[in-house]
């Protein structure tokens, strides 16, 4: 499965030192970012190892359904979940695509919701997933 990461423009500006833990810059507060460890720096790129994290996702059959899927995730974050709790939206989104399956849009759950997140009210549209990658 291929994953594309869409982030707030500011998160693209991060620099890291090999072997040190990521710390988000002050200008991104209170939004949370993916935590990672820099494995190595090369002139054009950084190799990173991302911590395992929990995401909430929703499938969409084609590109024209993307906006509807985003609204579904937004409703989940605004409190349409099993606990009726609003959840602060983080900056990271993923789009997964695999030629034989529908596209899926994922949103990173904040740290305080990583363990036992509220269940989606409409489980056929929104699901939670643990995701990790290097």
Reported confidence tier of residue 87, pLDDT bands at 50, 70, 90: very high
pLDDT at residue number 61:
80
Residue pLDDT, tens place only, 49-78? 888 888 888 888 888 888 888 898 999 999
Taken in order of first residue, the domains within the chain and their CATH numbers are 9-50 (no CATH), 53-131 (3.20.80.10)
**Chain center to CA of 14:** 17
Q: Kindly report the CA angle at 47 between 46 and 52, in degrees rounded to 5?
A: 125
Which range (9-13, 82-86, 105-109) has the least confidence? 9-13
Tell me how far apart the alpha carbons of residues 28 and 77 are, in angstroms, rounded to a whole number: 19
Q: Residue 30, preceding bond cis, omega within 30 degrees?
A: yes
Q: Can you tell me the mean pLDDT for 43-47?
A: 88
Cβ partners under 8 Å of residue 42, min gap 6: none
Tell me how far apart the alpha carbons of residues 116 and 108 are, in angstroms, rounded to a whole number: 14
Tell me how far apart the alpha carbons of residues 54 and 45 are, in angstroms, rounded to a whole number: 26
Structure-token pair, residue 82: 């099993």
């Amino acid at each position: 499965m291929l994953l594309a990461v869409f982030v707030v423009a500011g998160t693209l500006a991060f620099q890291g030192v090999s072997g040190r833990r990521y710390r988000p810059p002050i200008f991104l507060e209170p939004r949370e970012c993916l935590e990672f460890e820099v494995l190595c720096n090369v002139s054009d790129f950084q190799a990173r190892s991302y911590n395992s994290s929990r995401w909430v996702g929703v499938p969409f059959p084609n590109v024209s359904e993307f906006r509807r899927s985003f609204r579904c995730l937004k409703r989940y974050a605004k409190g349409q979940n099993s606990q009726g709790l609003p959840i602060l939206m983080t900056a990271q989104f993923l789009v997964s695509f695999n030629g034989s399956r529908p596209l899926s849009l994922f949103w990173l759950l904040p740290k305080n919701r990583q363990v036992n997140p509220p269940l989606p009210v409409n489980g056929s549209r929104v699901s939670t997933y643990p995701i990790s990658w290097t």
